[in-house]
Amino acid sequence: MTKPIFVLNGPNLNRLGLREPDLYGATTLAQVEALCHASAGGRTIEFRQTNSEERLIDWVHEAIDAAAGIIINPAAFTFTSLALFDALKMFPGPIFEFHITNVHRREAVYHHSYVSKVATAVMAGMGADGYGIAVQAMCARKDLLD
């Protein structure tokens, strides 16, 4: 049985399409989820969003046992959560850190990512459409945990 790819989303991403559309665009999280499924070439996608750090960490723990790879947009937890960093360090497969905006062109508070230190790849600045590219790239990897 082929393991799924977990696409995990952190705080405030449930407000996509409404929150700062000049920065994040008009695409909703439901549209992002549909794009991820459409881009997976038949592979199962576990698509989730939470505003809770605890729940996000629990999902990473679940992924350790059940996922082929993780695509994570940790949002604000990128820059604040050592606990998420520690959880991701335990995942033995590929991890893509994903951001809708180019965090390096934004305020300095967005320039230090704990997640980048454990990520296989970092993708930023491609807008919501970048999720589809991330899923396709993850599916193409030879080191997925199947």
Q: Is 61 part of the annotated catalytic residue set? A: no
Write down the pLDDT at residue 121.
Answer: 97
The residues, any chain, with a CB within 8 Å of residue 116's CB and separated by 6 or more, are 97, 122
Question: pTM to 2 decimals?
Answer: 0.95
Q: Is 110 part of the annotated catalytic residue set? A: no
Angle between helical axes of 82-89 and 53-66 (0-180°, round to 10):
0
Between CA 141 and CA 49 the distance in angstroms is 24
Among residues of the chain, what percentage have pLDDT more than 70? Answer: 96
| The pLDDT of residue 51 is above 90 | yes
Write down the pLDDT at residue 53.
Answer: 97
Catalytic hit among 37, 61, 99, 114: 99
Report pLDDT digits (tens) over 53-100: 999 999 999 999 999 999 999 998 998 899 999 999 999 999 999 999
Write down the pLDDT at residue 145.
Answer: 83
Between CA 84 and CA 3 the distance in angstroms is 22
